[in-house]
Structure 1
Amino acid sequence: MKPMLPIEKYFGKLELVYTFFGAMPTGVSVSETGRIFICFPKWGDEVKFTVAEIVDDKLQPYPNLQTNLFNPENIKMTFISVQSVVTDGRGTLWVLDTAAPNFSEPIKGGAKLVAVDLKTNTIRRVYSFTEDVVLPTTYLNDVRFDFRVGRAGYAYITDSSSTGPGAIIVVDLETGTAFRRLNGANPTSPDPFFLPKVEGKILMNRNKDGSTSPFRLASDGIAISPDGKVLFFCPLTSRHLFSISTEVLRDRSILDADLIYHVKYRGEKGASDGMITDAKGTVYAGDYENNSIRKILPNGAMETIAHDPRILWPDTFSIGPDGYLYVIVNQLHRQARFHYGRDLREKPYSLLRMKIGELPAPAF
């Protein structure tokens, strides 16, 4: 009888929350009352609604179906292709609309940040962007908030462009004024020397016609410290973590070219998509190359808290009031654009969670 050989060890107690048999999800956010919101960008799947809430174990368009039906005549009040949804802990769901289906150039006037009142389930305010903020190459990816500065707070958004400059977009939530920071800087740009490998294979763009090109995406993951003073961020195609003072980011008297000197390098954390921070300042990040979830303590120490074959591309994270870390797993790397037009994704996609015993970082 042949002996059984040692195999890779997996760990971390993950629970299945929801399975998706339709369109591929990217975003999740759990509100302070435990409501769960999901978003589905239009990347080629049949997307019936781009924002949803899980109600009684079913997906329901949120805030309603009409808002999820793009209307060119009502571009500000209807969703086009939503990449991220974030609850702020004080009764608002923030919806980040890329207005860029299939990574196209954003539809003019369609890219927006939308505040939805969770008590009335109605849109309270829409923030649009000027053409010097949302460029033809821009892909709005994720957003974090701090309501302790300014009269109405600030939002910080990553531009994860694949063809243009990456950046962090700063939004004054009182005036709606927005501006780009670290535009095209190395920390917000893809690492040119990074070669991603997922499920043992090199990840690159592989087109139907047989042509190939490197997979490159700019600043994507973003997290904010519990006091709102430090913003953490990372390009999608990179293993490196960076941070910068939010006060410096907001200070427009500091030239963008000089901002690079205020960026801190936080070390190699693995290649991450989404990130989130808990109330004690620990940053949680995925490691899509290794089917893992990692945490970075305030002192810089890093620890892998889950390593599981089911973590096939950990995308967005959220921390619920129940002390669980929620994560969307969506097999992004198996999409047809990486495999000569062959879609290798296997349904269902999943929403998983694991107990961390911590609360989300407050924004107010």
Structure 2
Amino acid sequence: MNTPMTKTALALTAALLLTSGATLSLARAASPLPALSQLAQDRPIGQPEVVATFSGAMPTGVTVSETGRIFVNFPRWGDDVPFTVAEVKGNRLVPYPDAAMNRADNAQPRTHLLSVQSVVADGQGRVWLLDTAAPGFATPVAGGAKLVAVNLRTNQVEKTVVFPPAVIKPATYVNDVRFDFRIGKAGVAYVTDSSLSGTGAIIVLDLASGKALRRLEGDRSTSPEPGFSPVVEGETLLQRHADGTTAPFAVASDGIALSPDGKTLYYSPLSGRHLYAVATALLRDPAVTDAQLAAAVQDLGEKGASDGLESDASGTVYAGDYERNAIRKLPPGGKWTTIAHGPAILWPDTLSVGPDGYLYFTVNQLNRQPGFHGGRDLRQKPYALLRIRIHAAPAPTR
């Protein structure tokens, strides 16, 4: 006849079971662990293609003409920049429109390219070169901040429009531009001032008269977002000086895009995650006060932290996301979705819709520059021009 187990026997049994379990756990732990590469990984999105690589200076802007010609630019920020604008031919760079014009000459600021920040093909047979005239983000050379139109058939300068002194302040840094040739005699240009130390603004430039307005100067929509602290490649992005001091990454209005009908301008500060929109008719009208214009600005919410913006013929807006190594899009009435994401998309800069249904974009590792790492240059050449298929046409300018 069985007798009930005593408390002592129960305790011994439990101890044996625990010991057995621990032995099994140790045995499992002793088995080989998987390599880090065998664990779940960050999921890439989309299939970007490499169009060209650059082993010299760091590029920023890219544009693709209506005939498929590709142009890039290299601002004079500190790299050795033998030419500030080039045409991409295969994987070869050719100074554009020629080597002579690309030689910086502060004594002839109207006829020489000092430091080009953006290149934009206008769909009308020209490519426009936006010259900051501010190498190293210095005070712009007097008479040097300009838009230069080059005829793509002749490869000769067709027109030069110098910004009036009233809209170019000591800390002005003209950054990106969009065109609308449905306005006025020769069209209008909308330009972002992405000042690093002054106030941001949108500059509206009449291409026939050369007259210009500074709009939304110092507005919340053209200024760095308060408290903005971006994290790129797992590190808080700060200006880190060689002496150990730091400063916030605070850059004003940068990316810009125009709706297909030309009625809405989209823009955003580089140091921020929000997309803003405003009616272009209000921007162009000097009778509209600054207060009225500010009240008309729409905050379209967070899109991610972007350098470049672009739009296509359907009204979709595209934005880089330098914190997420991504390219995103916002269709009319829709929501933001990611169309490209991966470890090679290291700081997506400028975007351009080509006639072939691709979105082209530069990746230039901007966050790895010496100024963010106490003087250490962490960039790894080559830089790259990538593209991803979007099945869309460029937004019209006329």
Under TM normalisation by the shorter chain, which class is it?
Answer: over 0.9
1:226 counterpart residue number: 260
2:141 counterpart residue number: 107
Question: Structure 2 counterpart of 1:138, which letter?
Answer: T
The alpha carbon displacement at 1:267 in A equals 1.0
Match of 1:309 among 339, 343, 353: 343
1:145 counterpart residue number: 179
Equivalent-residue separation in structure 2 for 1:363 and 1:189 (angstroms): 27
Measured against aligned partners, the alpha-carbon deviations of 1:52-92 in whole angstroms (never above 9, x if no partner) come to 00124310000000000122332101100000000001101
1:266 aligns with 2:300: yes
The alpha carbon displacement at 1:6 in A equals 1.8
Instruction: Determine helix, strand or coil for the equivalent of 1:74.
Output: coil
1:120 aligns with 2:154: yes
Equivalent-residue separation in structure 2 for 1:150 and 1:9 (angstroms): 48
CA contact (8 A) 1:336 1:344 kept: yes
Structure in which a larger fraction of residues adopt helix: 2
1:37 aligns with 2:102: no
- Work out which of the two has the higher radius of gyration on C-alpha atoms and give 1 or 2: 2
Question: Structure 2 counterpart of 1:129, which letter?
Answer: F
The alpha carbon displacement at 1:179 in A equals 1.1
1:2 aligns with 2:33: yes
Match of 1:67 among 88, 101, 106: 101
Question: Structure 1 counterpart of 2:232, which letter?
Answer: V
Question: What is the alpha-carbon root mean square deviation over aligned residues?
Answer: 0.9
Equivalent-residue separation in structure 1 for 2:152 and 2:73 (angstroms): 16
1:208 aligns with 2:242: yes
Question: Structure 2 counterpart of 1:216, which letter?
Answer: A
Instruction: Determine helix, strand or coil for the equivalent of 1:165.
Output: coil
1:318 counterpart residue number: 352
2:82 counterpart residue number: 48
Structure 1 residues not aligned, in runs of 5+: none
The alpha carbon displacement at 1:256 in A equals 1.7
1:195 counterpart residue number: 229
Question: Structure 1 counterpart of 2:190, which letter?
Answer: Y
Equivalent-residue separation in structure 1 for 2:152 and 2:39 (angstroms): 53
Question: Structure 2 counterpart of 1:48, which letter?
Answer: P
The alpha carbon displacement at 1:127 in A equals 1.0
1:91 aligns with 2:122: no
2:385 counterpart residue number: 351
Structure-2-length-normalised TM-score: 0.90
CA contact (8 A) 1:190 1:238 kept: yes
Equivalent-residue separation in structure 1 for 2:208 and 2:384 (angstroms): 37
1:286 counterpart residue number: 320
1:11 counterpart residue number: 45
CA contact (8 A) 2:61 2:362 kept: yes
Equivalent-residue separation in structure 2 for 1:186 and 1:96 (angstroms): 25
CA contact (8 A) 2:109 2:141 kept: no
Moved over 6 A (4+): none
Equivalent-residue separation in structure 2 for 1:119 and 1:176 (angstroms): 24
CA contact (8 A) 1:266 1:300 kept: no
CA contact (8 A) 1:28 1:84 kept: yes
Structure 2 residues not aligned, in runs of 5+: 1-31
Equivalent-residue separation in structure 2 for 1:332 and 1:72 (angstroms): 26
CA contact (8 A) 1:229 1:246 kept: yes
2:281 counterpart residue number: 247
1:161 aligns with 2:195: yes
The alpha carbon displacement at 1:132 in A equals 1.9
CA contact (8 A) 1:143 1:222 kept: yes
The alpha carbon displacement at 1:150 in A equals 1.2
Instruction: Determine helix, strand or coil for the equivalent of 1:223.
Output: strand
Percent identity of equivalent pairs:
58
The alpha carbon displacement at 1:8 in A equals 1.4
Equivalent-residue separation in structure 2 for 1:56 and 1:356 (angstroms): 22
1:22 aligns with 2:56: yes
Equivalent-residue separation in structure 1 for 2:93 and 2:220 (angstroms): 40
Structure-1-length-normalised TM-score: 0.98
Equivalent-residue separation in structure 2 for 1:247 and 1:299 (angstroms): 22
Instruction: Determine helix, strand or coil for the equivalent of 2:158.
Output: strand
The alpha carbon displacement at 1:308 in A equals 0.7
Question: Structure 2 counterpart of 1:357, which letter?
Answer: H
Measured against aligned partners, the alpha-carbon deviations of 1:290-325 in whole angstroms (never above 9, x if no partner) come to 000000111141111111110000000011111010
Equivalent-residue separation in structure 1 for 2:257 and 2:298 (angstroms): 14
Question: Structure 2 counterpart of 1:279, which letter?
Answer: A
